[in-house]
Structure 1
């Protein structure tokens, strides 16, 4: 059902928290693209006029000095808190008036109401008065919010009420001021803290998750309205202080540029056919790592998993010998991801000696369940954790089958800087000129890559020699449902599989042979391999015999920055017909 999403000059948006900060920037961007009317709400009082001493003074230190001088001239003894309060009033007044003026300059119309959204009576009274002049409200953007970040055991009732009421009581009050059956737009500013959770923000996460659920309920009750709860990540403004920005950078959490975020808001208002009433915009929040007690007892874990073809749609893109077969990279991803989940905030750095012991085909021999055994082998003083891992199952006769193993998986609590690939060669020699899907065509005499869309991504061969091949790749992201039980988190099993395809091209070009993976001596991960844009694989041949081939794979960008390395990769040569049914 198409929602009523047309925005015209008579549209009236009620915007809480809308006169300052990022919500104001969004209102300005909306007015720029759709000149209409805005009722901006905020708790700050507007000054009747700016003090004379503040005129044309924009330097913080100078302005605070003038505030002190003014207080002294009036016989008062200035305190730092008093000076800061007056300074904030002046800056707040300037920002609100600048927002109103900018909206007017781009063709919109705006009024500012100084009111607390949690004060039901005052809010209804002021909105009733202003709508008599501006017209009936057609849209709500609820951007008001407060923070009181503390560990949960240190939070007070007042902290909770401050955070909760602005979001939830504020929404209830805003909705009470409009004719809901006629409302066309409802945008709720939620947060990724509600989606992922975040340390010190239990109240904020709770309030935002209630906003998410409210969006679903309101859409059911008022299907004519375009409802969306935007789970924003941190913005490069507002509540993200320089200190918090540094912490986000340390944890690999990207922040949203103000201009880009404002355009995303307008895009969500414009997107009238979106099925979901909840969207996430921003990097996932990874928890900070807890201090590691390296003298604590080493532990073992056993994880049971039932694998089904229905739960893993990508298997249709990995058919070997007529059967869906679990890629070896999914086996490594399961082991790595399980280790990371045991120690939140720690991230896979490298492993040694991955082996394919027996593949997992999805046929009549598929086991009832598969077992992952993890064994902690070391906890080092420099906050490193080491695991040993093995995946196994029992067949219907009770016989043990071992499928994949890794000798040691290393986790660290911080990012390791990406090195530069010293043997970078981006020159194009035009020896192999086929491109894109031609690598995956049916004719195995050319390149017998059997992979479907979930694993495709070779775009062109830059250069090839008896010692090396360099290929450009693009892995087009598949949706979460398609990823099944092996979701992309830090290690991407689909693009890792793709990164080994250059060896197939090299083998076919020089030897007219194919191989299947058997072993990786070492896998190092420095950064996430990008999706939907080019990356490059430099595959250096180590050895080639009649029955096997070994190579090093370096995955990097066009400047040689390394995302990851697969060193000592070994493949077993097989007949081409083995790939067919």
Structure 2
């Protein structure tokens, strides 16, 4: 014997997306079980079928009749116009079939053509329908859109289309009813929200918001039966044949229509319902792509402007903003990781600064990052990397600004520890930055050195704390694995040492090796120790490591060389 429920023949459900797809199948099942009433909402218009199209259900024959009809109007039929009219007729037939099926099952239904993201139109049309059908007992929110693409290919419009149908649509529906009088609020979410799924970042976000809203509404209206059902893929609905093949390859069960609709009925039958979120479907596990042995060359183009990169105003040399070398490093390292997300950046070998990028004109220049794969295996990937730009003088085709070899690892090695860690505090106190006029010329975005702990002719150790900057300031150089701002601070201690003992300054020229074992923390103290390997009139070479108080190394630069300049010469450059 069936359990007693609140649903009766007089119960009225508002159903978004209810005339088609999986929501339609659920409505038909509910009509069979309860013979209740439905107000179905959809964007498609319900049109009276033309006389010339009646009794023609073969696609090719119907399209032939459409072509003949357009010719009779003096219009030139095109594949696009024929398909558009065919879709209108097919859609109206599907809606009519849904309404007829509900009636044959003992239910009652009315269809409203409306965009649920249009709050005013929705409110006006629903108010009229409610007067005819009666008070609303429940809402089933099944409307949704897909715009499946990898995130780098998604547009703002893609996100808005997917997000609005789910989230804005629900907000508008709830605005049209008295929530305190609702007996049921059923939200159709997705396992993509629970597990995530490739190409569906926007869909996952929108559905996860539904999950959270369900919990929130249940807290405020405990007498309402609220549930967000995280459905797996169905045999019908928005699942494409391509998606269906992908799910089958990944051993994800596809829900048969009869099974899914019965699960919904059972969910509504539950009394004293406390479970707000239900997941129906297997976990979506990440796709493990096989590494192709073919070595490729990648070209990544980027225009750099002062306006798009506010942080550059904090890195001004001789009156002109200059791109920090560490920004070039981060562009290279992070781009390599984006090409192979399951690998992590580990090492630069022979990083050379050949021609710095100086912003001394209003001309937009396009820079090209060339990544040439030189070795690939299941454990590591190596690249030869260059950042180049077009030479407008045409003496040579391109300028090469930076070059290096890069190594990514599947698994990073354990961070080494410092052999000797001298944290003996010294009386060396100084305001290193003085708003760009001190020992260090760097503005606030790059300021991190707090004090010198020890300094002698062989080495220097400084205590640092970098508090981060807003995303807007980071521009084209967002913080990822290799943080260009904290990595730049790594070099500051050499500048302090050189100023303290020789009253000189230097510009970076080369890094023999840079290894990163762990990301440098933000809003947490870290320490930089530089060991001076050699010093001449024109060059300084040092080994620099970033570490924590216990000596665990985050990053290590071996053979970091700088070209020494007098302050007067630097000002004239």
TM-score (structure 1 length as normaliser): 0.52
| Shift of residue 201, structure 1, vs aligned partner | 6.9
Aligned to 2:203: 206
Aligned to 2:474: 483
SS in 2 for 1:345: coil
SS in 2 for 1:502: helix
| Shift of residue 352, structure 1, vs aligned partner | 0.4
Inter-partner Cα distance in structure 1 for 2:545 and 2:505? 20
Residues 379 and 411 of structure 2 are in contact (CA less than 8 Å); yes or no, is this contact kept in structure 1?
Answer: no
Inter-partner Cα distance in structure 2 for 1:204 and 1:173? 24
Aligned to 2:433: 440
Determine which of 339, 358, 363 is the counterpart of 1:342.
339
Deviations 1:323-361 (CA, angstroms, capped at 9, x unpaired): 011111111111112211111222101110100000111
Inter-partner Cα distance in structure 1 for 2:308 and 2:527? 31
| Shift of residue 290, structure 1, vs aligned partner | 3.8
| Shift of residue 481, structure 1, vs aligned partner | 0.9
The aligned runs of 1:117-516 (5 Å cut-off) are: 178=178, 200=197, 206-209=203-206, 290-293=288-291, 296-364=293-361, 368-380=365-377, 382-400=378-396, 401-430=398-427, 432-434=428-430, 438-441=431-434, 447-516=438-507
Distance 1:346 1:366, change over 3 A: farther
Asked if residue 524 in structure 1 is aligned to residue 515 in structure 2, the reply is yes
| Shift of residue 371, structure 1, vs aligned partner | 1.5
Inter-partner Cα distance in structure 2 for 1:204 and 1:171? 21
Residues 537 and 564 of structure 2 are in contact (CA less than 8 Å); yes or no, is this contact kept in structure 1?
Answer: yes
RMSD (Å) for aligned C-alpha atoms: 3.9
SS in 2 for 1:408: strand
Q: Which has the larger radius of gyration?
A: 2
SS in 1 for 2:446: coil
| Shift of residue 455, structure 1, vs aligned partner | 0.5
Inter-partner Cα distance in structure 1 for 2:288 and 2:360? 43
Distance 1:289 1:576, change over 3 A: farther
| Shift of residue 208, structure 1, vs aligned partner | 2.5
Distance 1:204 1:452, change over 3 A: closer
| Shift of residue 170, structure 1, vs aligned partner | 7.4
| Shift of residue 449, structure 1, vs aligned partner | 1.0
Deviations 1:390-424 (CA, angstroms, capped at 9, x unpaired): 11112322244534434321112334322222222
| Shift of residue 427, structure 1, vs aligned partner | 1.8
Distance 1:204 1:477, change over 3 A: closer
Residues 435 and 442 of structure 2 are in contact (CA less than 8 Å); yes or no, is this contact kept in structure 1?
Answer: no
Asked if residue 538 in structure 1 is aligned to residue 529 in structure 2, the reply is yes
The aligned runs of 1:105-120 (5 Å cut-off) are: none
Inter-partner Cα distance in structure 2 for 1:213 and 1:397? 57
Distance 1:534 1:366, change over 3 A: farther
SS in 1 for 2:482: coil
Inter-partner Cα distance in structure 2 for 1:198 and 1:522? 39
Residues 299 and 370 of structure 2 are in contact (CA less than 8 Å); yes or no, is this contact kept in structure 1?
Answer: yes
Determine which of 517, 542, 550 is the counterpart of 1:551.
542
| Shift of residue 495, structure 1, vs aligned partner | 0.8
Distance 1:124 1:410, change over 3 A: farther
Inter-partner Cα distance in structure 1 for 2:463 and 2:570? 25
| Shift of residue 567, structure 1, vs aligned partner | 1.3
Inter-partner Cα distance in structure 2 for 1:356 and 1:349? 19
Aligned to 2:84: none
For structure 2, the residue ranges without an aligned partner over 5 or more in a row are 1-132, 140-149, 151-163, 181-186, 213-284
Inter-partner Cα distance in structure 2 for 1:570 and 1:462? 23
Distance 1:528 1:573, change over 3 A: same
TM-score (structure 2 length as normaliser): 0.53
For structure 1, the residue ranges without an aligned partner over 5 or more in a row are 1-120, 128-151, 153-163, 181-187, 216-286
Asked if residue 567 in structure 1 is aligned to residue 563 in structure 2, the reply is no
Deviations 1:347-380 (CA, angstroms, capped at 9, x unpaired): 1011101000001110128563111111000012
Inter-partner Cα distance in structure 2 for 1:299 and 1:320? 37
Deviations 1:433-464 (CA, angstroms, capped at 9, x unpaired): 22xxx1012796xx531100110111000111
How many residues in Structure 1 have an aligned counterpart in Structure 2? 338
Residues 353 and 407 of structure 1 are in contact (CA less than 8 Å); yes or no, is this contact kept in structure 2?
Answer: yes
